C-alpha cells in the first residue's frame, strides 16, 4: 500500500508539473484540493485522465463518488487498488 | 515651403561630449543624410541609432525625404527579423551608417504617408505594439510641453537624458521638443545614476529620466552636492514611488515633475510633487465612467474620439487623482481571473514586499507569481524551505480566490525585472519561468563597499543537476565558482580574464532546493574576488578567484 501511495504521489507531481514539491511534501491523508495541495478542477481533470491511462480505471460519472476518491492520496490509493485493471 | 520640423533659431543644436554641434553643422548633416537616403532609394526604412544626435539627423532627413521611419525599441536579432525593411543608423550593416558625402540639400518632400513615424510601446503586457504618429500629433505634443513647462526652463539649459529616444517619451523630450523650442540636447545617454554628477556645473540641465533611474538615484549612498543645477527633472514611463521622488528632490535639489501618459495616448497630466493631484496637460480633456475608468480626448490622439485608458481615476475641480490600474483580467480555462486582485492580496502579506501575477501558457494555462520577499519572507524561506513558503502564501489566498486563480508557480526575486523604461513587462516576468534554468534565483541582495551579499535559492530543476548525479543530485563545485565570477562581474564590476583559484574549499554539498548566502568581496588592487557560500551555521564553500590585469 505504501508503494502505491508513493507511486500516486509521483504521478501527481509529474502529471501536474508541480514545482518545488517532492513526495515528502505531500501528506498521504491531507486533502488534495482546497487548502491542502491547492489543486483545482483542471488538475482533477488531468489527474483523472492520467489515472485512467496508467491503471485502466473507469471513473464514475457520479461526481460525489469521484470527489470521494479524489479526497486524498490515501483514498485515491484505496480506489486504485480496488478498481485497477492493469 | 514644406518643412517637416521647423527648428527654433538657436545657435547650438546639441552637445556631443564637450563639443557643441552648431546649427549650420546640423543642417549640413541633415542634407548629407537626406542625399544618402535618396541614394538608398527605399520607400520604407527602419531607424535605429544609439546616438541621439545622429538619430535626430536621420529622422529629420528621413522626413525631408518624404519617408515615415519605423522606430524600433531595440536592435535585437528578433526585432531585425520582424522588421525586414532597410535599416538606417548605427545598427545598419550597410555603408549607410554615415552621411560623409557632402551634397546640396534637395528641397524637402511632404511625406507620402499620413503618418510621420511608427514607434513601439515598451510592451507592459505582452508584445510591443506598433503605433503610428503624424507630424501634427508630434507637433501638438511638443507645443503643449513648451506651454506647460517652457517657462520653468532657461533658454540656455541643456537637455540631458537617461531614457532612450527610440521610445516616444525620449523621442519627444530629448530630441523633438529641444529642436522645436531652441534648447540644445546632450547626445549621449546618461547610463548610471552617478552620471548625473558628471554634468558640467557652469550650465543648467533639464534631466529627462525614467522612474527606474530615479529609484536608483534615491538609493545612492552618500553623494557630494550635485555640481550642475537642474531647473527641472522629468519622470515618465511608469510610476515613481513617493519616497524615491522626495529623496531625488533633495539629492538633485529640484522638484521631480512626473508626466502621466503612454505611447498610445501621449501626455495626459503632470504634477510637480507626489502629494499633489495631477494637472491635465493643456488641451487634454478628461472624464471618468461608472467604473472609474479614465477616458480622454486629446490633440495627441489620431482622431477626435474619446478613448478609454487602462487606469481608474477620480476627477475633482479639473484635477486628477489616479486610483490604480483598471483590473487586468485574464482568462484561464474559461474563467475570468483578476491579476490585480491576486497582486493586491499577495502584496498585503507580511512575507511579501512586492508582487506581480501573470498568466503562463504551458502544459495548461495557469497563474504564476513573481514576488519580492520582505526581510521576514527571506528569513522564512531560509528557515522553512521553499515548499513550506509556497504553501503559506497559497493558503493566504485560498479563501479569497477561485482555486484556478491560485498561483501554481512562484519565483522570488531581489527586485522586479524591468526594461530600460523602468517597466516590468510580462515578457520579462515570463522569462523567469523558463524551464531548466542555469542560474539560481537571487532572493535578496545587499551591497557593501567593494562587496555584496546575496541570498540564493537553488531550484531543483537547475540544468546543472541533470546527470550530476541521477540518484542524489549535487551542485557541481565548478558551477558555484562560475556563479561567483559572473556575479562578481555583474555586481562588482570585476574585470580581467580568469587567472587562477586559490584556497578553494568545498566543505559541504549543495542540494536541490537549498537556500544559501553567497558573499563576494572585491580587492581591486590585487585583482581578487573572495567568495564564501554559507547556509545557516554551515559553510558550503569558500575560495579566492584571481583575475588577469585588463589590457586595454
Beta strands in B89-177 (DSSP E): 117-120, 130-133, 158-161
When pLDDT is averaged across residues B304-321 and rounded to a whole number, the result is 91
CATH number at residue B455: 3.10.129.10
Length, in residues, of chain B: 552
- Nearest residue, CB atoms, A40 vs list B363, B391, B403: B403
User: Is B2 within a domain?
Assistant: no
pLDDT band for position B102 (50/70/90)? low
Are the beta carbons of A19 and B409 separated by less than 8 Å? yes
Whether the predicted pLDDT of B16 surpasses 70: yes
Number of domains into which chain B is organized: 4
The mean pLDDT of B150-163, rounded to a whole number, is 95
A19 touches chain B (CB under 8 A): yes
At residue B123 the predicted structure's pLDDT band, cuts being 50, 70 and 90, is low
| Partner A, chain B 452-511, Cβ-Cβ below 8 Å | 459-461
Q: Do B172 and B276 fall into the same domain?
A: yes
B390 plus B476 within the same structural domain = no
Instruction: Give the CATH number, domain containing residue B54.
Output: 3.40.50.980
**Percent of chain B whose predicted confidence (pLDDT) is above 70:** 95
Q: List pLDDT tens digits, range B489-506.
A: 989 888 888 999 999 999
Looking at the fold, whether B264 and B165 belong to one and the same domain comes out as yes
| B389, B443 Cβ separation under 8 angstroms | no
Q: Is residue B431 assigned to a domain?
A: no
Q: Which helix (H) or strand (E) holds A16?
A: helix A2-16
**Cβ pair B195, B21 in contact under 8 A:** no
Residue B423, domain member (yes or no):
no
Q: Are B265 and B301 in contact (CB under 8 A)?
A: yes
Residues of B in contact with A35 (CB under 8 A): 395, 398
For B513, the closest chain A residue by CA position comes to: A20
Within-domain flag for B125: no
Quick check: A38 and B459 CB within 8 A? no
Helix H or strand E segment including B271: strand B266-271
Among candidates A21, A34, A41 on the partner chain, residue whose Cβ is nearest the Cβ of B404: A41
B337, B384, B390, best to mutate vs chain A, most A CBs in 10 Å:
B390
Per-residue pLDDT at A61: 66
Cβ neighbour number for residue B284 with a 10 Å cutoff: 21
Nearest CA in chain A to B410: A19
- How many whole angstroms separate alpha carbon B187 and alpha carbon B208? 13
Nearest to B82, CA basis, from B151, B128, B143: B128
Q: B217 and B277 share a domain?
A: yes
Contact between residue A76 and residue A70 where contact means Cβ atoms under 8 Å apart: yes
Are residues B237 and B122 in contact, defined by beta-carbon separation less than 8 angstroms? yes
- Interface contact flag, B387 A17, Cβ < 8 Å: no
From CA B429, how far away is CA B424, in angstroms rounded?
7
What is the C-alpha separation between B21 and B26, in angstroms, rounded?
7
C-beta atoms of A19 and B410 within 8 A: yes
Task: Tell me which chain A residues have a C-beta less than 8 angstroms from the C-beta of B331.
Answer: none
- To the nearest whole Å, the CA of A59 is away from the closest chain B CA by 22
> Nearest CA to CA, how far is B498 from chain A (Å)?
34
Q: Is the pLDDT of residue B124 over 60?
A: no
Within 8 A of B387 by CB-CB distance, chain A residues are 20-22, 25
Structural domain including B247 reads: 132-326
On whether any CB of chain B is under 8 Å from the CB of A39, the answer is yes
Phi-psi region of B155 (alpha: psi -120 to 50; beta: other; left: phi over 0): alpha
3-state helix, strand, coil split of chain A in percent (to 5) is 60, 5, 35
Phi, psi of B526 (to 5 degrees): -90, 0
pLDDT score, position B97:
52
Cell numbers found for residue B309 = 485608458
In a domain, B1, yes or no: no
The residue with greater pLDDT, B525 or B307, is: B307
Please state which architecture CATH assigns to domain A2-14+30-83.
Orthogonal Bundle (1.10)
Instruction: Check A38 against B398: CB less than 8 A apart.
Output: yes
ipTM of this predicted structure: 0.77
List pLDDT tens digits, range B218-268: 888 678 889 999 999 999 988 898 999 999 999 999 999 999 998 889 999
B251 domain-assigned? yes
C-alpha cell of B303?
482622431
Decide if pLDDT at B528 tops 80: yes
Q: Report pLDDT digits (tens) over B261-308.
A: 988 899 999 999 999 999 999 999 999 988 788 999 999 998 889 988
Domain match, B354 and B469 both: no
> Helix B339-347 crosses helix B386-398 at what angle (to 10 degrees)?
120
Q: List the one residue out of B140, B51, B43 whose CA is nearest residue B97.
A: B51
B274 and B354 both lie in a single domain:
no
CA–CA separation, B110 and B2 (whole Å)? 6
* Sequence spans of domains, chain A: 2-14+30-83
Considering only CB atoms, A35 lies closest to which of B363, B395, B459, namely B395
The nearest CA of chain A is from the CA of B466 a distance in Å of 16
Sheet holding B352-361, edge to edge: B352-361, B365-373, B409-412
CB contact under 8 A, A17 and B363: yes
Domain CATH for B394: 3.30.300.30
Domain assignment of residue B31, yes or no:
yes
Q: Using the beta-carbon criterion (under 8 Å), do A20 and B394 form an inter-chain contact?
A: no
Is residue B265 domain-shared with residue B147, that is, in the same domain? yes
A14 at the B interface (CB within 8 A)?
Answer: no
Residues in chain A: 86
**What's the pTM?**
0.63
Is B461 close to A22, i.e. CB distance below 8 A?
Answer: no
Average pLDDT for B415-422: 79
B374 and B319 within one domain: no
What is the rounded distance in angstroms from the CA atom of residue A26 to the CA atom of residue B547? 47
Which residue blocks in B354-398 are alpha helix, DSSP H? Answer: 375-384, 386-398
Closest CB to B513: pick one of A20, A35, A39.
Answer: A20
Residue B12 lies in a domain: no
Chain B residues with CB under 8 Å of A22 CB are 387, 460, 513
Q: Do A40 and B404 touch (CB under 8 A)?
A: yes
**Percent helix / strand / coil, chain B, rounded to 5:** 30, 30, 40
Q: Residues B399-404: what's their mean pLDDT?
A: 85
Q: Minimal Cα distance from A25: which residue of B?
A: B387
> Is some CB atom of chain A closer than 8 A to the CB atom of B287?
no
Same domain flag for B67 and B33: yes
The pLDDT-based confidence of B98 (bands split at 50, 70, 90) is: low
Set of cell numbers at residue B11: 545657435
Residue A40's pLDDT is 83
B188 and B321 co-located in one domain: yes
Q: Are residues B158 and B222 in the same domain?
A: yes
Question: Would the pLDDT of B131 be above 60?
Answer: yes
Please tell me the number of Cα atoms within 13 Å of B343 on its side-chain side: 17
pLDDT in tens, B181-195: 999 999 999 988 889
Q: Looking at the structure, tell me whether residues B159 and B303 fall in a common domain.
A: yes
Cβ(B484)–Cβ(B506) below 8 Å: no
Q: Return the CATH number at B272.
A: 3.40.50.12780
Residue A62 has pLDDT above 70, yes or no: no
Amino acid at each position: 500500500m505504501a508503494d502505491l501511495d508513493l507511486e500516486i504521489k509521483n504521478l501527481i507531481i509529474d502529471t501536474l508539473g508541480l514545482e518545488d514539491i517532492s513526495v515528502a511534501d505531500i501528506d498521504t491523508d491531507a486533502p488534495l484540493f482546497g487548502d491542502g495541495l491547492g489543486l483545482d478542477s483542471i488538475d482533477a481533470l488531468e489527474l483523472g485522465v492520467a489515472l485512467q491511462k496508467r491503471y485502466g480505471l473507469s471513473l464514475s460519472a457520479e461526481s460525489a463518488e469521484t470527489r470521494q476518491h479524489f479526497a486524498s492520496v490515501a483514498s485515491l490509493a484505496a480506489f486504485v487498488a480496488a478498481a485497477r485493471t492493469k | 515651403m514644406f518643412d517637416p520640423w521647423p527648428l527654433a533659431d538657436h545657435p547650438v543644436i546639441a552637445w556631443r561630449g564637450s563639443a557643441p554641434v552648431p546649427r549650420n553643422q546640423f543642417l549640413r548633416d541633415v542634407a548629407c543624410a537626406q542625399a544618402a537616403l535618396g541614394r538608398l532609394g527605399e520607400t520604407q526604412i527602419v531607424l535605429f541609432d544609439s546616438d541621439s544626435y545622429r538619430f535626430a539627423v536621420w529622422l529629420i532627413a528621413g522626413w525631408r525625404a518624404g519617408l515615415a521611419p519605423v522606430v524600433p525599441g531595440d536592435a535585437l536579432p528578433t526585432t531585425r527579423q520582424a522588421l525586414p525593411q532597410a535599416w538606417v543608423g548605427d545598427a545598419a550593416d550597410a555603408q549607410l551608417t554615415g552621411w560623409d558625402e557632402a551634397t546640396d540639400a534637395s528641397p524637402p518632400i511632404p511625406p507620402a504617408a499620413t503618418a510621420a513615424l511608427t514607434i513601439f510601446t515598451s510592451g507592459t503586457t505582452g508584445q510591443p505594439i506598433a503605433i503610428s504618429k503624424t507630424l501634427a500629433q508630434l507637433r501638438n505634443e511638443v507645443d503643449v510641453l513648451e506651454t506647460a513647462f517652457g517657462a520653468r526652463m532657461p533658454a540656455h539649459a541643456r537637455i540631458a537624458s537617461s531614457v532612450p529616444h527610440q521610445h516616444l517619451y525620449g523621442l519627444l523630450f530629448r530630441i523633438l521638443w529641444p529642436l522645436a523650442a531652441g534648447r540644445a540636447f546632450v547626445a549621449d545617454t546618461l547610463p548610471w545614476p552617478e552620471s548625473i554628477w558628471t554634468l558640467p556645473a557652469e550650465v543648467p540641465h533639464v534631466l529627462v529620466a525614467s522612474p527606474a533611474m530615479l529609484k536608483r538615484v534615491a538609493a545612492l549612498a552618500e553623494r557630494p552636492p550635485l555640481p550642475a543645477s537642474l531647473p527641472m527633472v522629468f519622470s515618465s514611463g511608469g510610476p515613481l514611488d513617493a519616497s524615491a521622488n522626495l529623496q531625488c528632490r533633495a539629492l538633485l535639489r529640484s522638484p521631480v515633475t512626473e508626466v502621466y501618459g503612454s505611447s498610445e495616448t501621449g501626455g495626459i497630466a503632470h504634477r510637480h510633487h507626489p502629494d499633489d493631484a495631477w494637472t491635465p496637460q493643456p488641451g487634454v480633456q478628461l472624464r471618468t465612467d461608472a467604473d472609474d475608468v479614465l477616458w480622454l480626448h486629446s490633440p495627441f490622439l489620431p482622431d477626435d474620439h474619446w478613448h478609454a485608458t487602462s487606469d481608474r481615476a477620480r476627477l475633482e475641480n479639473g484635477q486628477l487623482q489616479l486610483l490604480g490600474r483598471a483590473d487586468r483580467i485574464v482568462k484561464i480555462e474559461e474563467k475570468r481571473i483578476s491579476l490585480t486582485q491576486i497582486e493586491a492580496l499577495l502584496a498585503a502579506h507580511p512575507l511579501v514586499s512586492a508582487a506581480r501575477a501573470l498568466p503562463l501558457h504551458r502544459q495548461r494555462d495557469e497563474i504564476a507569481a513573481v514576488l519580492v520577499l520582505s526581510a521576514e519572507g527571506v528569513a522564512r524561506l531560509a528557515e522553512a524551505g521553499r515548499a513550506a513558503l509556497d504553501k503559506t502564501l497559497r493558503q493566504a489566498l485560498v479563501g479569497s480566490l477561485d482555486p484556478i486563480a491560485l498561483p501554481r508557480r512562484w519565483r522570488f526575486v531581489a527586485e522586479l525585472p524591468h526594461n530600460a523604461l523602468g517597466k516590468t513587462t510580462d515578457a520579462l516576468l515570463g522569462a523567469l519561468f523558463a524551464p531548466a534554468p542555469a542560474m539560481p534565483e537571487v532572493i535578496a541582495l545587499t551591497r557593501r563597499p567593494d562587496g555584496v551579499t546575496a541570498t540564493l535559492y537553488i531550484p531543483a530543476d537547475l540544468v546543472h543537476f541533470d546527470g550530476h548525479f541521477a540518484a542524489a543530485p549535487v551542485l557541481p563545485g565548478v558551477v558555484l565558482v562560475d556563479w561567483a565570477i559572473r556575479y562578481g562581474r555583474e555586481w562588482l564590476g570585476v574585470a580581467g580574464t580568469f587567472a587562477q583559484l586559490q584556497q578553494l574549499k568545498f566543505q559541504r554539498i549543495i542540494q536541490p532546493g537549498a537556500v544559501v548566502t553567497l558573499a563576494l568581496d572585491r580587492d581591486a588592487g590585487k585583482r581578487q574576488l573572495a567568495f564564501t557560500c554559507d547556509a545557516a551555521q554551515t559553510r558550503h564553500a569558500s575560495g579566492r578567484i584571481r583575475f588577469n590585469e585588463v589590457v586595454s
